[in-house]
């Protein structure tokens, strides 16, 4: 149900609500990478590229095993070639 609600909010362009929800999720589950990736995707879609990069860098600090994936995504964001789901 949460995924459908999130998809609806994205479709409606209600990024602020989604960002707040994913920030709360990250606070509660700081070692769960999916929250960071979702927040970064929403920030990117909202035109907040630097915030998306900062979120990914925070993930890298919290979950070092994500370092290579984070580096790739940051490079793609900077080059404009990132493919968000």
Q: How far apart are CA 15 and CA 6, in angstroms?
A: 9
The alpha carbon dihedral of 62, 65, 67, 72 has a sign of negative
Collapsing DSSP to helix, strand or coil, 53 comes out as helix
Return the H-helix or E-strand segment holding 70: helix 67-79
Q: What is the pTM of this model?
A: 0.85
pLDDT at 68: 96
Within its chain, how far is the Cα of 5 from the centroid?
17
pLDDT at 18: 87
Assess whether pLDDT exceeds 60 at residue 1.
Answer: no
Q: How far apart are CA 75 and CA 67, in angstroms?
A: 12
Q: Tens digits of per-residue pLDDT, 47-85?
A: 999 999 999 999 999 999 999 999 999 999 999 888 765
pLDDT at 10: 67
Supply the DSSP symbol for 63: -
pLDDT at 76: 94
pLDDT at 17: 87
Q: Residue 2 contacts by C-beta under 8 Å, 6 or more apart in sequence? A: none
pLDDT at 82: 85
């Amino acid at each position: 149900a949460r995924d459908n609600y999130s998809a609806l909010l994205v479709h409606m362009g209600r990024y602020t609500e989604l960002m707040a929800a994913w920030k709360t999720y990250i606070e509660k589950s700081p070692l769960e990478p999916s929250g960071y990736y979702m927040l970064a995707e929403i920030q990117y879609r909202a035109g907040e590229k630097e915030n998306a990069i900062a979120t990914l860098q925070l993930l890298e600090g919290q979950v070092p095993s994500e370092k290579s994936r984070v580096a790739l995504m940051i490079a793609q964001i900077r080059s404009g070639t990132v493919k968000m789901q």
